[in-house]
Amino acid sequence: GIQVEQSPPDLILQEGANSTLRCNFSDSVNNLQWFHQNPWGQLINLFYIPSGTKQNGRLSATTVATERYSLLYISSSQTTDSGVYFCAGGHNYGQNFVFGPGTRLSVLP
Amino acid sequence: GAGVSQSPRYKVAKRGQDVALRCDPISGHVSLFWYQQALGQGPEFLTYFQNEAQLDKSGLPSDRFFAERPEGSVSTLKIQRTQQEDSAVYLCASSFKRDNEQFFGPGTRLTVL
């Protein structure tokens, strides 16, 4: 099955800093999502982005499907951005939706 | 409803007890998924329904795990004879169809003593 890698595994930022999180897939996927899991465990949808670039406020994401990776950009980070960021993807030919191990982000005031 | 709901939010079971976890998907969503999330890890796929049909149960860890969605809406995940290794958060997600964006419920945290 598909393997998903995320980097870095842990990231500590000062409030106001920018960051880039990366997700690599071992095989092609045609549905890809980024999530933020808050301290209460809720998975919050950030982007559905099988390809291309999207932006939502301080967050943006880019997926290069041909090279099997996706990037999540966080600008002007805030303490409320803290938590774990997951990417996940699958393929419509029977591949289940597979999550990466996550990037744990801590934003310090 | 506005989103995916799950109940109970917390469940404590003694080893050997049976438990049933409920998921109410977003109205109109054809696809429903169950995931298991162990502490400190990403969610792992358990099973997938399209309407009432269980099309994939390859992620169920043992025959003690059983899921159903008899009317194509609400789903129940049942774990028989619970073991300590079953302790985890069980997440439910739904989507309009299989490869569309998935929306997750708040999860049920199961603790087996």
A60: phi > 0 → left, psi -120 to 50 → alpha, else beta; which? beta
A32 contacts in chain B (CB < 8 Å): none
Quote the CA–CA distance of A11 and A41 in Å, as a whole number: 19
**Those residues with Cβ within 8 angstroms of residue B53's Cβ, 6 or more apart along the chain or in another chain:** none
Q: What is the pLDDT of residues A82-105, one digit of tens each?
A: 999 999 998 866 568 899 999 999
User: What integer pLDDT is reported at residue A62 of this predicted model?
Assistant: 98
Q: Dump pLDDT digits (tens) for B10-19.
A: 999 999 999 9
Q: Does residue A7 contact residue A100 with C-beta atoms inside 8 Å?
A: no
- Measured from the Cβ of residue A55, the count of other Cβ atoms closer than 10 Å reads 12
Mark yes or no for CB contact A42/B42 under 8 Å: no
- Per-residue tokens: B106: 């708040």
Q: Which residues pair with B33 in a beta bridge?
A: B48, B93
Nearest to A43 among B59, B91, B100 (CB): B91
